Amino acid sequence: MAENGQHTGTFRVKSGMAQMLKGGVIMDVVNAEQARIAEEAGAVAVMALERVPADIRADGGVARMSDPEMISEIQAAVSIPVMAKARIGHFVEAQVLEALEVDYIDESEVLTPADEAHHIDKAAFEVPFVCGATNLGEALRRIGEGAAMIRSKGEAGTGNVVEAVRHMRAIVGGIRRLGVLDDEELMTEAKNLQAPYELVRWVAENGRLPVVLFTAGGIATPADAALMMQLGADGVFVGSGIFKSGDPARRGQAIVKATTHFKDAKVIADVSRGLGEAMVGREMGDLKEEERLATRGW
Amino acid sequence: MAGNGETNGAARGEADSARIGVLALQGDFKEHAEILKKLGVEPVEVRTLEDLTGLAGLIVPGGESTTIGKMMVSSGLLDGVRSFFYKGGPVWGTCAGMVLAASATTGERQPLLGLMNALVERNGFGRQVHSFEADIDVEGFEEPFTGVFIRAPFFEDVGPGVEVLSRIEDRVVAARGENILVTAFHPELTDDVRFHEYFLREVCGL
């Protein structure tokens, strides 16, 4: 939209917002009290949702967009950006979140998908979107739909970093591979990746995604966060890992510091001392196929 | 442990090019560093007090001002950057950096550097859906500059010693003092290097 020469909702404004979050930690919160603790711990943004993924897993049933009342309370409680989740393909939930003026929408596999075949047409919105991806092709399809930020999916609510590592390596490795292909090979690779050719070409030329790449799904400790940063993440989403732990305020601060000083093992050691109980983790082999969230979306 | 590239570069004897620090606690510091490289100066990522040594200038980038402020307190960089500035060190704050440079905010208390006599309104233009791009006139620039405003702040009021470089209506979006420059928008998100050149030439005297 253009008003008084001011253009809102441009892709540069949407992706630029994510650039301002780089090197930071975005924390899941379920009420205003937790949002204040997160802000105090140094979070760059909060994700407002009714239940953290670990509880969604435990409770079962259909997980939907949060109550607008709760989102508004969180917006009133903090000055940092507030994000919220819409179900995959549920563009009306996204319209509602845009009307609430959330700062970013996460079209998220953590909620129960509303459409098994289609994701939201994200380019049609003024508010920017972040989407999950398990590999490079999936990341580029979401960007093709207008996502202005990508996060590796991981396996939310498990406290187990193994899937986040797998997905980050798949995305970063995929980017590296494109760099050595010649022009003829790029079209074939676009076919293999099932990704838009122009985006494949852009990534091959620039050696990175055209948007910021965060990590998510299973990060529970400062060392987990630093691991993901060293693997190539621009920043970290922590869901259940903070408020399902023994001392959320301290753990939050520790993960924030480890994310900034991710190459400095002494700092990571220091902030990891006596943090108390991490959230209880789950082994991937114990998850039934239908319990896996990362396979939602395509 | 792998050292950072900048330090190694200096050790290899690139002492001729000026070293400009970019505060690298959080935010879009890499974007600033890329432009500095294009302009032939050596960017230095600043995470600790020691990193401030020998800098010809310092950029405080865009990011979350509350996060950056808290980390500046815990790392000692809040006092470190103040002392760098009061000894004459040139500083440029973009967006979050402009908030941190102010002496007071209209909202809740948060750690500030207080380098400039100004009252800042954080997120003054509103939430992200109101973020925008606009061509703005800047004092001393012949052509307009495309400002990218992201949950941007503005100065509601400025005191003596602050020269206003640009306004949107009555809102101050770019200003300078003797050794400080602030912009509410993000020149580092554009291909237009005029503000980086301005900082190096007019504020750092390079």
- ipTM of the predicted structure? 0.94
Please state the rounded mean pLDDT for residues A149-174.
96
Per-domain residue ranges of chain B: 9-203
CB contact under 8 A, B151 and A126: no
The answer to whether A88 and A145 are in contact (CB under 8 A) is no
Phi, psi for B172 (deg, rounded to 5): -80, 120
The answer to whether A17 and A103 are in contact (CB under 8 A) is yes
- What pLDDT sits at residue B9? 39
Catalytic-labelled residue, pool B6, B31, B186, B196: B186
Catalytic-labelled residue, pool A85, A122, A153, A244: A85
Please state the rounded mean pLDDT for residues A61-66.
93
CB contact under 8 A, B47 and A260: yes
Across chain B, which distance is largest between two alpha carbons, in Å?
51
Strand A25-29 relative to strand A45-48, pairing:
parallel
Distance from C-alpha of A252 to C-alpha of A30, rounded to nearest angstrom: 15
Indicate the residue of A80, A104, A265 with minimum beta-carbon distance to B64: A80
Please give the angle made by the CA atoms of A221, A298 and A128, to the nearest 5 degrees: 70
The answer to whether B75 and B49 are in contact (CB under 8 A) is yes
Can you point out the beta strands (E) in chain B? 19-23, 42-46, 57-60, 91-94, 102-105, 116-121, 132-136, 145-149, 154-158, 163-168, 171-177, 180-183
Question: pLDDT category, B12, cuts 50, 70, 90?
Answer: very low
Query: What is chain A's mean pLDDT, rounded?
Result: 95
Name residues whose C-beta falls within 8 Å of residue A95's C-beta, 6 or more positions apart in sequence. Answer: none
Q: pTM of the full predicted structure?
A: 0.94
- What pLDDT sits at residue A282? 84
- CA-nearest of B191, B149, B151 to B166 is B149
The answer to whether B71 and B26 are in contact (CB under 8 A) is yes
The model's pLDDT over A126-152, given as tens digits with 9 standing for 90+, comes to: 999 999 999 999 999 999 999 999 999
The model's pLDDT over A234-253, given as tens digits with 9 standing for 90+, comes to: 999 998 889 989 899 999 99
Distance from C-alpha of B100 to C-alpha of B110, rounded to nearest angstrom: 9
Query: What is chain B's mean pLDDT, rounded?
Result: 93
* Residue A144, amino acid: G
- A contact test, residue of B28, B129, B170, B173 with most A CBs within 10 A: B129
- What pLDDT sits at residue B8? 42
Please give the angle made by the CA atoms of A165, A168 and A170, to the nearest 5 degrees: 105
Q: B60 vs chain A: nearest CA distance in angstroms?
A: 12
Phi, psi for A34 (deg, rounded to 5): -65, -35
- What pLDDT sits at residue A3? 75
The model's pLDDT over B15-28, given as tens digits with 9 standing for 90+, comes to: 468 999 999 999 99
**Consecutive H or E run containing A212:** strand A212-215
Given a cut of 60, whether residue A52 has pLDDT beyond it is: yes
B71 touches chain A (CB under 8 A): yes
Given a cut of 60, whether residue A125 has pLDDT beyond it is: yes
Q: Give the three-state DSSP class for A87.
A: strand
Fold of B9-203: Rossmann fold (3.40.50)
A14 has catalytic annotation: no
The model's pLDDT over A257-296, given as tens digits with 9 standing for 90+, comes to: 999 999 999 999 999 999 988 888 888 888 888 888 988 9
Distance from C-alpha of A260 to C-alpha of B29, rounded to nearest angstrom: 12
Distance from C-alpha of B166 to C-alpha of A145, rounded to nearest angstrom: 36
- What pLDDT sits at residue B1? 39
- Give strand pairing partners of B42: B19
List the single residue in A with minimal CA-CA distance to B67.
A42
Given a cut of 50, whether residue B155 has pLDDT beyond it is: yes
- What pLDDT sits at residue B16? 63
Quote the distance between the C-alpha of residue A256 and its chain's center. 16
Q: Which residues of B touch A43 (CB under 8 A)?
A: 67
